[in-house]
Structure 1
Amino acid sequence: MRKSFKIAIAAGATVAILGPLGYFWQQSLVPSTYDMASMGYPDYGGGQQAGHAHATGGLDVAALKGPSTGDPDVAVTLTARAEKGKYTLNGATPGPEIRAVKGQLVQVTLVNDNIQDGITLHWHGVDVPNAEDGVAGVTQDAVRPGQSYVYRFVVQDAGTYWYHSHQVSHEQVRLGLFGALVVAEPVFSEGIDQVVQVHTYDGRRTINGAVGESALAAHAGQVVRARVINTDAGPLRAWVSGAPYRVSAIDGRPVSSPTDISDKYVTVTAGGRVDLTFTMPASGAARVDVGTGVALVAGGLAAGPEPPGVVDLLSYGTPAPLGFDPAKATRNFDYRIGRRAGFLDGKPGLWWSINGHLFPDVPMFMVSTGDIVRMTIANSSGEVHPMHLHGHHAVVLSRNGVAATGSPWWFDSLDVGDGETYEIAFVADNPGIWVDHCHNLKHAADGLLAHVAYTNVSTPFRIGGSVGNQPE
């Protein structure tokens, strides 16, 4: 009897332990095919609850397209290939630099030669109509080998942007499926307009695909605009040596009354962009550094030490009107990033959490067209997260309780460090279902992604399935 009693206790203890574990394991499993808009739970932020992202009726993502007629002002064909352990666009990585003028119609034909997982193109930072956003399983199906897909959109805002695949993005971007997109003002100014696209291949940081130092073709007296684009997974430091410089734009949005900077660097968020402008000195020698030994150099200027200070974008520049009043917000959301033990699609581990939940049980932030949205992003996860909202630009209101006092800090990609809290705001003026995720793309693949969804929008596309849509 004693032995039987011990066995019964052991069996009961086993059930008590494994039962809950089995339940949580089961709950974590993600279906092989699912509607992203139906995952998790709706968070209405205190606003109107009519409709839902996966409700019938209303707007279909597939109908939220750019102009279907009219000759494009800029027409580009990009052919993606897998070759020699990397991915290329038109035989190169980075892919071709696309340039347009504000207000022009851009048409890009994406051809998948042989990439077996399929591909898409996301126009990072460009607030395109939702069907042009290039997120596999949410706004389109992945383009399979031998297929093509046409994107058409009007570039409404001048600025520095980039494009990249949003199918298995944590692998495809790292291996080369990306390129720069520059939108210029209709009236051009004299000077040098230079893309500084930073990417790390096999542990080697490059500028525009070149390792080490490259030539900057500028001479004394010329104004240089260096468009720094961070295509990597973590933040980088950028600065100008040999001349004072200004941060003239952040994520494609101009800075109000930027001032001269010396002996400081600016942090460029993963996925983010900063435009650095400066006048070439009389010596004709200057350099744009994006890390030790990686620079664009004019006049043979040797590398110096990294500047000791950092530009604080919270107070840089001067205030300017926002165009809306954040105090009149109709939606208020929390986006609390943490990390906890649990199961992610049946796999045990330490995973990123959103508001205490693991993917797929994460919030769907519900908005309606015209809403003023405030969101508090807090990070207690132990690592920095570059948060990227598709389809919109937001403005920083405060950091760690300190109000912004400089130029409006508009962004689409924002570093939120461990222990930091940002309050941001934006206007819901672009209907769709929009990814709001970490742009350390492996973090997104490990569950650090949510969505901002308009209450009357649905999508016909599905994650997984026969097409194999896998955006992160």
Structure 2
Amino acid sequence: MAVLVPLGYLWATSLVPGTYNAADMGYADYGGGPAGGHEHMHHEMNIADLTGPKTGTPDVSVTLVARKEKKGLAGYTLNGSSPGPLIRAESGDLVQVTLINESVPDGATLHWHGIDVPNAEDGVAGVTQDAVPVGGQHVYRFRAKDAGTYWYHSHQVSSDEVKGGLFGPIVIAPKTPGEVLATIHTYDGKRTINGLTGSQRQQLTAGTAARVRVINTDNAILRIGLTGTPYKVVAVDGREVNKPTPTTKAYALAAGGRVDLEAIVPPTGLRFVAGTAALTLGIGPVDPPTAELPAETVDLLTYGTPKAIGFDPAKADRRFEYRIGRRIGFLDGVPGLWWTINGHKFPDVPMFMVAEGDIVRMTISNTSGQAHPMHLHGHHAVVLSRNGVASTGSPWWTDTVEVGNNETYEIAFVADNPGLWMDHCHNLPHASEGLMTHLMYAGYVTPFRIGGTTHNTPE
């Protein structure tokens, strides 16, 4: 009895309700700021009203049909392929995407990873919308503000659907003659660039400025880079790097992260290496020689040149801790070794509460034994320090930061995009195992529910 009673209690208290409101999850953490925001709100606002422009003819209009079908290496497709089609827009364009679910049995959504869209357009099942059932459709509309390299993917049963192929690239920028897209994904243990295994080649004239837009859609960090000539890291997670300098080092790209690499194509060509010499993309007039990536990696903490970030992190209104750990116990009645946030297991995790206009500092520390690519929806944060060492390079703006075991990052951002936003590990199985919480703006409510008759299962 001395063993069984506590075990029974732990089992019972670990059960996740069959349906629940994400806004009511866990416990409120106000980060030292006021509970109600800066001023008292007389009525609650519905995040379903936080849409993109409802009127106006879209500059870019795309229909994506989601199917569960075996096509090449993929188990799911969008418009018959995986990755799905490249969506291209320019800064300022009104983008409209219609998702039609033809045959994905669990339902599907589209999340615009790294694009800070209005909350109702964020595409998270049970949080910002209901999953689109078979035979259903959903229209997303948003203004493409920030030029950069992004991607879209389902945020319904995402640990299965993204892995199986429900994703694609989106680029907000005019097409240039030297643009090269490299969407990296592993299907059933086979790593691919743009859906293809092995070595490929893209013909570019010597002297062309090649801009390689790299997207890591996998669950783990990738060491990538260009060989054959020095290159510059010109953008990280859709944000330009200030005064980048040439390097020959490798680049460590977090799961879910993007990076733009730029180099002048030499007469002998250059090669993009996607983690292994077996998977490369030759770029140039001839097939360039194969080469391994160097052991050293670019450190964004010191890369590039400082410039103003537009706000003062020293004047933070909220200071949060996001401590990632791991412990034995039950999660939804299942015994195992589960992730914790600030010592708490899902769903009893902190809800980070902010008010619009707040300057927010967050310290993310990890003692869980594994690395975690941490992704905050709806916002870009700037890295202030890593392991207590301050950033001295270009402002390192990011939406997906790799926090290694025994590492601590301090980040800061302005709470300028109201709603209810996921803040989770983008190793998607980790998120489905409880490494997931939310950033919530005071005064907002969501009409959507996780679980229940809609079967919303965001992770």
TM norm structure 1: 0.94
Where do residues 71-470 of structure 1 align in structure 2 (5 Å cutoff)? 71-84=57-70, 86-184=75-173, 191-262=177-248, 264-283=249-268, 285-292=269-276, 293-298=278-283, 299-470=286-457
Whole-angstrom CA distance in 1 between matches of 2:207 and 2:293 = 25
Compute the displacement of 1:50 (Å): 1.3
C-alpha distance in 1 between matches for 2:30 and 2:107: 34
Aligned to 1:6: none
What are structure 1's unaligned runs of at least 5 residues?
1-13
For residues 295 and 77 of structure 2, the distance between their equivalents in structure 1, rounded to whole angstroms, comes to: 38
Taking the aligned partners of 1:455 and 1:132, their CA distance within structure 2 comes to 19
Displacement of 1:80 after TM fit? 0.3
User: Which structure has the larger Rg over C-alpha atoms?
Assistant: 1
- CA distance in structure 1 between the partners assigned to 2:179 and 2:419 by the alignment: 34
AA at the equivalent of 1:289: V
Q: In the TM superposition, what is the alpha-carbon distance from 1:308 to its structure 2 partner?
A: 2.1
The reply on whether 1:61 has 2:34 as its aligned counterpart is no
SS at match of 2:51: coil
8 A contact 2:224–2:293 mirrored in 1: no
> Aligned partners of 1:57, 1:197: CA distance in 2, in Å?
44
**Matched residues in 2 for 1:278 and 1:378: separation?**
35
Deviation at 1:306, TM superposition (A): 2.0
Q: Does the aligned pair in 2 maintain the 1:385–1:416 contact within 8 Å?
A: yes
Deviation, 1:260, is: 0.2
Contact in 2 for aligned 1:56/1:458 (Cα 8 Å)? no
Structure 2 unpaired stretches of 5+: none
What's 2:20 paired with?
A: 34
- What residue identity is the alignment partner of 2:274? V
8 A contact 1:26–1:346 mirrored in 2: yes
Residues 403-439 of structure 1 show CA distances to partners (whole Å, capped at 9, x for unaligned) of: 0000000000000000000000000000000000000
- Which whole-Å deviations, capped at 9, do the CAs of 1:32-73 have from their partners, x for residues lacking one? 110011010000000010179xx9932211000000000000
Paired residues, number: 451
Larger mean CA deviation between 418-427 and 298-307 belongs to 298-307
Residue pair 1:129, 1:430 contacting (<8 A) in 2 also: yes
Q: What TM-score, normalized to structure 2?
A: 0.97
- Name whichever of 170-179 and 236-245 sits farther off: 236-245
Distance 2:264 2:151 in 1: 25
Query: What CA distance in whole angstroms lies between the structure 2 residues aligned with 1:18 and 1:180?
Result: 51
User: Which residue identity is paired with 1:333?
Assistant: F
Distance 2:11 2:353 in 1: 28
Deviations 1:178-203 (A, max 9, x none): 00000016xx7x53111100000111
Any runs of at least 4 consecutive aligned residues in structure 1 with deviations exceeding 6 A, and if so which?
none
